[in-house]
Amino acid sequence: MSPAPAKPQPRTRIQREKQDVILEAALDVFSVHGFRGATIDQIAEAAGMSKPNLLYYFPSKEAIHRQLLTGMLDLWLDPLRELDAGGAPIPELRSYLRRKLEMARDFPRESRLFANEMLQGAPHAIDVLEGELKVLVDEKAAIITGWMDEGKINRTDPYHLIFSIWATTQHYADFDVQVRAVLGKDRGGDGRFEDAARYLENLFMDGLRPKA
């Protein structure tokens, strides 16, 4: 009599595996072309299966995209969640910056998926932005403001501080082509992330103006 749950979790091992393959392929395609620009055929081919076969595992293109987006928003906010009010301000912020840059390095497709969603006005994620995300940022901004009150870091706008950390780090994933093109063959290699880390740390710590 148990009314087998509508369609929550995959039951067989093979289902879980195939769904992973599909999500992986979909991430490749969505992150480059965005939702509208991606086609099920493209995803199916990238996943090595036929379109109807893919649609056996996911009910629709939107369902794939939704799962990809929500599953990834969590991962995306982890570094910010770890920002600890109890830690020392400068090391905490330095560490946040570093972790965020590592995410751009290790999960560039996720970053681009998110960027695509933002460019389109966040039609599928606006609720999370105005809900969970805003709450989290409000909370962390308060922590940062506390640090400023204690004189541990220079007084400035904590929201825009967070924005600038997002912007500078994600830039290395979202605008990777441009970064590589400008740095050229010699400097555009794997070392660019270490250079970026060093530079960004300098910037956020001391800025450009020499101390008087």
Partner DNA sequence: GGGATTTTTGACCAGTTGGAAAAATGTTAG
Partner DNA sequence: CTAACATTTTTCCAACTGGTCAAAAATCCC
Q: Which of 30, 20, 29 is nearest to 57 (CA)?
A: 20
33 binds, among DNA, a second copy, none (CB under 5 to 8 A by kind): a second copy
Nearest approach, Cβ of residue 6 and DNA (Å): 14
Q: Is 49 in the site for DNA (CB under 7 A)?
A: yes
Contact between 60 and DNA by CB under 7 A: the answer reads: yes
Residue list 82-111, contact with a second copy (CB under 8 A): 90, 93
Euclidean distance between the first and final Cα of the chain, in Å? 78
156 part of the interface to DNA, by CB under 7 A? no
| Residues numbered 173-212 forming contacts with a second copy, rule: CB under 8 A | 174-179, 181-184, 187, 195-196, 198-200, 202-212
Q: Rule CB under 7 A: choose which of 20, 39, 191, 203 binds DNA.
A: 39
15 touches DNA (CB under 7 A): yes
Which member of 121, 149, 186, 190 binds a second copy (CB under 8 A)?
121
Could you tell me the smallest distance in angstroms from the CB atom of residue 74 to DNA? 24
CA-wise closest residue to 48 among 81, 77, 26, 16 = 26
Partner touching 170 among a second copy, DNA, none, CB below 5 to 8 Å by kind: a second copy
Interface residues toward a second copy, by CB under 8 A:
31-38, 90, 93, 112, 115-116, 118-122, 126, 129-130, 133-134, 137, 151-154, 156-157, 159-164, 166-168, 170-172, 174-179, 181-184, 187, 195-196, 198-200, 202-212
